[in-house]
Chain A
Amino acid sequence: MTSRLTINRTRATKVFLSAFLILIAAIAVYAFLILKHDPSFVDLNERLLPMSWQHPFGTDHLGRDMLTRILLGFQLTVGYGFLALLLAVAIGVPIGVIAGFKGGLVDRLLMRVADAFLAFPDTVVAIVLSGLLGAGIENLLLAIILVKWVNYARLARSTVVTERQKDYITMAKINGLSEWRIMWKHLFPHLIGHILVLASLDLGKIILLISSLSYIGLGAQPPAPEWGAMLNEARPYFQTVPALMIYPGLAIVTVVLLSNLLGDYLRDKFDVKKEVAE
């Protein structure tokens, strides 16, 4: 009973994921082929319009096309989320692998630095950095990277520390593999699954962070079509034209949900044992 349930859930996840990926691909194609509006083009004669063929999602309080802004917001929000994530992984993983593999003083030094970063909550760092360097999406990204790299460093380190004591690492050494080759051939396959799962779950959190900080004015600045910033701009019209808040809100929920599903799916996929059991 339980196993049937699990398989069904996995299949449901797959279907759901595929549907979303197709949807997003379609949206992307639509955005590039059919996009006919300038996201910042202000036309006060056409403000707060309802749905129409001309404006499928209507227009906002400055007469800008909502669909165009939501689509470009995808590029902005998800794009910046990805960028922050990639940089955090690119900084954290090598530091963690080196700390775990070398051990000793190097390990202790790197991990104390990581602990120091871990002590600050991400929102606080973002707010402080915005206060010091000025509000803007670049400073927000910097704050996210500063906070997130630690997770990847710790994950990579703990995986490497567990695995490097195993006999197959000794065998690889006996078989003449260099340290770099051992890291690449033997440790990397162990890392990639963990990292991808954590990263895809983190993507949702990072997008939420970007949007929520943009909403309170610390991230992307208007007129950038960032979803959180759009929510903020739509606030005064909440009661009269709720669609202005619903569309960006739905976009955020969709992407965060997608990122969590992707995390689940990847976790199953990289678990060799589970794959075989199915």
Chain B
Amino acid sequence: MSSAYPTLTARRFRPVTQEAPLVRVALIAFVILVLVVLLFAPLIAVFVEALAKGWLAAIESLAHPDARSAIWLTLTVAAISVPLNAVFGIAAAWAIAKFDFRGKALLITLIDLPFSVSPVVAGLCMVLLFGANSLMGGWLVAQGFPIVFALPGIVLATMFVTFPFVARELIPVMIEQGRAEEEAALTLGASGWRTFLTVTLPNIRWALLYGVLLCNARAMGEFGAVAVVSGKIRGQTATMPITIEMLYNEYLSVAAFSLAAVLAGLALVTLTLKTLLEWRHADQLAATHRH
């Protein structure tokens, strides 16, 4: 009879939420494998390909006017569309989380629209609305302010595609925090604007940061919508992702991968920035119980 017990007593010392050692090792190994194959290896491959013919060739290809124009254009588009979407996202999340009004469900659906519509379709809609053949577009072109095949169109398309990121990140946080702190600030004599700046905004700053980083990553990487709207004019309206595709199609692999490495590098910089901020403000993060 006693022979049936040893395994039972051994098991009793393991925390109830923990699996058997073999299962644990297998699961961990599987996760690491997936991470390496899906995330890590492609990233390394980009840099390896970029440097296949040495540093000099990579840097030379980046110094090409078309590449420089693409980098500059992508940064410009992100610099315009991300702050605007942050403002719109805050406004939308604030309205949805703190107020009850008619049409709220519709507004939430509308905010999610860019997630469900293919970016290419979004780009086509922009062309239909603002193209030279449309009523509005024709008039704007006549005023010397073309939208499609120019910077404004690229910015509009990027903003459409990245619209939900900030709002989506903020809405659950703002709903969870409720209205009580804002009400408290008002009873203490603060104006609405002061309440927003000193209570609402500090309480959502981390969620806002994540939203902005996601929005930025997507804004710099957007391909589909921008491909339709920009007209892919080399050196003028071709952003980094579009230039990368064109170079790759022309078998200029060092140039394509060098530019791709810069794009990936920009993403890595934002990730590092986020981690640094989290690390420096760990105490505040704990104090506001978020992430």
Are A and B associated in one complex? no
Listed in ascending order, the chain B residues whose CB lies under 8 Å from chain A are none
